[in-house]
Structure formats: structure tokens, C-alpha cells
A and B are shown apart, each in its own frame.
Chain A
Amino acid sequence: MPSSEVSKDNYVLETAPFDPRFPNTNQTRYCYTSFLDYHRCQKARGTNYAPCEYFKKVYTSICPHSWVEKWDGQLEEGTFAGNI
């Protein structure tokens, strides 16, 4: 979440909302799909497209940090398995 733009007074602490596409207890796919969607969205709309940040907010909430670090590393090396 781009918290740097939001002042501390009206900062809302929230997690990823319920998504009907992922109704089951296992949220792994919510995590991975959001990670893919964030990078696909940036690829399609450029890095300054604000709605893309929604996906980043979701995957930083849902995914384990170690997965995100691993995937970001793979993206840098060009070995990421997903189709972006």
C-alpha cells in the first residue's frame, strides 16, 4: 500500500477484501493470481496506473513475504515461471 502518500490521520488499516473468485479457505491462489495480475497490469498499463496498486495491496497482505521475495528475485533474474 502506498502509505507514503496518505497522512497518518486518515490512514486506514485494512487487509485484502473478500473476493468471490476465491471463496475457499485456501487463499494460495488469491495470492498468486494477485501477484500475476499486478505485474500483468503494470505491463499493460504502465507503472503509473493507480488501479494496479490494488493488486499489490492484496498480494502483500495475502502472500507469505518469503514467496514475494523469491518471486521478485526470479523476476529480476528472468526465471519467473508465471506468464506475465
Chain B
Amino acid sequence: MSATVGELAGSVVPVSFTLGADGQIRQRLRLSRGFMWLCRLATYASLLVLAVLLLSIVWNSVGRLRWDFLSSHYSMQPDRCGILAGLWGTFWLVLLTAAFSIPVGVGSAVYLEELAKDTWLMRVIRLNLSNLAGVPSIVYGILGLTAFRPLVIQLQSVFDGRHVVNVLGLFRLRLLKLDIYDGSVLIGAMTMSLVILPTVIIASQEALRAVPSTIRVASLALGATRWQTIWRQVLPASLPGIATGVILSISRAMGEAAPLMMIGVLTVASMCPGGIESPGQLLTEPGRVLAVPFDQFTAMPVEIYDWSKQPDPQDRFTGVAASGILVLLAVLLTVNAAAMIVRYRAGRQLRW
């Protein structure tokens, strides 16, 4: 005698897998479809806004965005006004910012992740890092204005050409007066480093955390010191992640205007830091690079802000501002593409 499962259970219910075979399912399907459309709408609405913005910028820039826009200084004539000073200013600003924030940021991350013991102080620092990353950049601008600017001006008054420093008793060095202006590249980079440091540290910490601990243990078991383990195993393995985080932070530094306005950078500039106006000059007059950190400067977002509120009866500066935005966007996209390439390459090489 053979009994089917249905008979054993005492009831035989015909089973149908057809869509909507029971009313409840149909109701749920309708709901889930509605939800999907809502999400789709949210996505496309923001995309639409972005597209409209971009289109209007491109539309506005027509007529001004030519190659000479990249190689011209500020001018009262919108047709001749260019972004050269901002390009170089942003370039030097970002270079110095990276020079400050990468060693400090990666060093802090290594200390916090790999070396520090879990004390209450460390816990407070770790907790507050993400808070610091969320602080509006203008606040760092105020910090730069009140802390770094006086510091650098103090430096200037100390190095007035009368001070002679005895270097290790070997020779005497006469410190010459430095031309430090308000809003120099140095102050800008110091301030901008503050803006991006929390992000750099957090990104580096995450990259370090992604390295499996078995690698560290295996390295230590082979008689490597802690330092060798970090330097030869952990850092190389986390480098792609760290690089991605650093590049993205730097692209943020490129787009920030507020902290720079706060420390008083130029808005109208007809000179580039160090007087370097073309890449060729870096080779022909490398000595000028030394003057860069102490020169006044302007940056692309500051210039764009300034152009967009230029009083002009025919709104002719709108085209200049739009062109500036497009140049800035192109630079940012290039930098972000670099981050993507780094990440893609790393993903192929490292598999745990």
C-alpha cells in the first residue's frame, strides 16, 4: 500500500505556481512593483537634474571655452579672461596638500590600526575621526585663519634678515626675509590638509583593516619584526586602497572654495605662484619652485565663484564661470578615473 504525502497529511490541496494564483500574492506583487517604480523615479529625477545642470553649463560656456581659456589670465574683458592662475594655483595647492596629508594621514592610520593599544584615548580618537570628517570645511578655514596665518606671519617677522643661525656649530646661516603674504600657497595647503586628513586617515584605516590578519601572523612567525611586517606586507597589500582614498580626498581638496576664501586667497589674480605659467618653465627655471609656497595664489573654485558674481550688465561673465566649471569638472573626472584604475588593477592582483 502506498500513500502520497498529501494523504498522509490528511488533506489534498492542489498546488499552483501560476503568477497571482492567490489573491494575497497579487497584492504583494503590486506593492513591490510600486516600490520599484518609486526608487526608479528617485534615481532618474536626480539624474535629470544633473543633466539639466550640465547642459545649461555647457550651453553657457559656448563662445568662451576655447584653448586660450586655459592659457589666459584674469581680464576685465570676458572674452579674454582665462583660468590659468587658478589651474596653477590648484595644482600647487594640491601638490603641497598631498605632501602634508599623505605622510601624516597614512602614518596616523598605521599607528591607530597596527600599533596603538586599545586605550580610552585611542577609542576617543577613533570615534572622533569620523566626526572630524563631517565638519564643514569652512570651520577648518577659520582654524587656518586663526592658527596657520599668524604662525606663518610670525615666521616672516622672525626671518627678517637679521637673524643668524648657527648650524650645529659648523657654519652660520643668515636667514633672509621671506615674502610671506596672507593666503599663501603654504597656508592654503596647511588648511586644506586639515580638511582632508580625517578622510585620508579613515580610508587608510579601512584599507589596512582589509589586509587579513593571517598575513601579519605569518610574517611575524617567520621572524619578521613588527616594522618589517608593516613595511613589507601590510602596507604593500593595502596600498591600492590607501591610494584610492588619498586620490578621492585630493579631488575633494580641488573642489573646496570656502576654506580658501576664509584664509584670504586672491580672487582676482593675474599671476601664478612662483611666476610659473607653463610646464616648460619647471624645467628651464626650476629655482622658481622654491618661491611657490610663499606666493599668493588663487584656485579654480575661488575663481569660478568670483566670476559668477561679477557685476556685468550683459551677464557676459556667466560664460566664463561656466567654462571654469567645465575645466574643473574635467580635472576632477580625470583624478577620479585615476582612482578607479588603481582600484581595478589592485582588484585583479590581490585575491585572498
Please determine whether chains A and B interact with each other in the same assembly: no
